[in-house]
Amino acid sequence: MATLRSARTCRTPRGQPWTRTSRSKPRKSYVKGVPHCRIRQFNMGKNKRFEVELELVSQYDVLVRDNAIESARMASNKYLERHLEHNYFLQVAKYPHHVLREHAALGVAGSDRISKGMKGAFGKPKGRMALVEKGGTLFRVRCEESAVKVAKDALKRAKLKIPGKHDVTVRDIRDEAYNLSRPLDIAAIEDVKVEEEKPVEEEVVEGEAKAEGEEKVEEKEGEGKEEEPEAKGKPGEEKKEKKK
Q: Which CATH superfamily is domain 34-102+121-182 in?
A: Ribosomal protein L16/L10 (3.90.1170.10)
Backbone angles phi, psi at 17, to 5 degrees: -70, 150
CA atoms within 13 Å, Cβ hemisphere of 191:
6
pLDDT bin (cut points 50, 70, 90) of residue 221 is: low
Output the pLDDT for position 95: 92
Return the half-sphere exposure (C-beta side, CA atoms, 13 A cut-off) of residue 45.
29
| Domain spans in the chain, listed from the N-terminal domain onward | 34-102+121-182, 184-225
Residue 92 has pLDDT above 90, yes or no: yes
Residue percentage of the chain with pLDDT more than 90? 37
Does 186 score more than 60 pLDDT? no
Q: What is the pLDDT of residues 189-215, one digit of tens each?
A: 444 444 444 444 445 445 565 666 666
Mean pLDDT for 218-232 is: 53
Closest to 153 in 3D by CA, of 52, 50, 54, 39: 54
Confidence band for 29, pLDDT divided at 50, 70 and 90: confident
Q: For the chain, what is the mean pLDDT?
A: 78
Of 38-52, 131-145, 228-242, the one with minimum mean pLDDT is 228-242
Q: What is the pLDDT of residues 130-177, one digit of tens each?
A: 999 999 999 999 999 999 999 999 999 999 999 999 999 999 988 888
**Spatial separation of the C-alpha atoms in residues 220 and 116, rounded to whole Å:** 93
Amino acid in the structure at residue 227:
E
Question: What are the E-state strand segments in the chain?
Answer: 43-45, 52-58, 62-65, 89-92, 98-102, 124-132, 137-143, 166-172
> What burial letters (b/e) apply to 24-54, b meaning 16+ CB within 10 Å?
eeeeeeeeeebeebebeeeebbbebbbebbb
Q: Residue 93 above 70 pLDDT?
A: yes
Please calculate the CA angle 184-188-191 and round it to the nearest 5 degrees: 140
Residue 106 phi, psi dihedral angles, 5° rounding: -75, 145
What's the Cα-to-Cα distance from 52 to each of 83, 85, 158, rounded to whole Å?
17, 17, 19
pLDDT tops 80 at residue 3: no
